[in-house]
A and B are shown apart, each in its own frame.
Chain A
Amino acid sequence: DAGVTQSPTHLIKTRGQHVTLRCSPISGHKSVSWYQQVLGQGPQFIFQYYEKEERGRGNFPDRFSARQFPNYSSELNVNALLLGDSALYLCASNREPPNTGELFFGEGSRLTVL
């Protein structure tokens, strides 16, 4: 079975632009979470979605938004990009919350904002 897949793997944007990152969970997994990992730091929780509804939100500005589709895939959108948004964006899936089992992470989308 395929693992969590994310696209694009790398992208470069300039300040003020918008970006959309995509994630497909493992087949059978209904919950998707998004994390931001700045170089040298641990992942920071952004959102969790389950059954197309937001179930959790981290301490990120409203420029960050996400959604989950009927097939459980998900998009993370970031508007008005800032230099500080440069990071590895990780998507993780599990069957359903609460996260009493392991999270399966994708390889991430590395965003560089110039």
Chain B
Amino acid sequence: GQNIDQPTEMTATEGAIVQINCTYQTSGFNGLFWYQQHAGEAPTFLSYNVLDGLEEKGRFSSFLSRSKGYSYLLLKELQMKDSASYLCAVLAGANNLFFGTGTRLTVIP
């Protein structure tokens, strides 16, 4: 089975840094994805990690530790438009992408 855990909600201040954690237990692991989803919209791809370590892409970074079943998404210099749900998803097997319930981030002035 698949079990993906992430906090339900987080609040952070504009300009600050926030870290969203994700832990997972899956049968088979072929990579971990982070997606952003604004209310009423489709998810959009943020990052993909398949090897341990940190992947940096602009203001967003994602980290993976396969031995610990752990990942985090780091958002720097927060902007109001970053208020959204952030979905952690694990690729288990070749074709099945399993999502967590998502973390709803609210950025306040």
Chain A residues near B (Cβ < 8 Å): 31, 33, 35, 40-45, 48, 50, 55-56, 58, 90, 97-108
Contacts and interface: CB of A to CB of B under 8 A. Distances in A.
Interface stretch (B13-21, B38-46, B62-70, B76-84): B38-46
A43 B95 contact: no
B95 A55 contact: yes
B17 to A, nearest CB: 24
Contacts, number: 66
Interface of B: 4, 30-31, 33, 41-45, 48, 50, 87, 89, 91, 93-102
Contacts of A100: 30-31, 48, 50, 91
A90 B42 contact: yes
A105 B43 contact: yes
Contact of B101 (A41, A99, A101): A41
Contacts of A42: 4, 87, 89, 99-102
Contacts of B99: 35, 42-45
A91 B30 CA distance: 21
B42 A99 contact: no
Contact of B95 (A40, A99, A102, A107): A99
Nearest to A91: B42
Contacts of A99: 31, 91, 94-95, 97
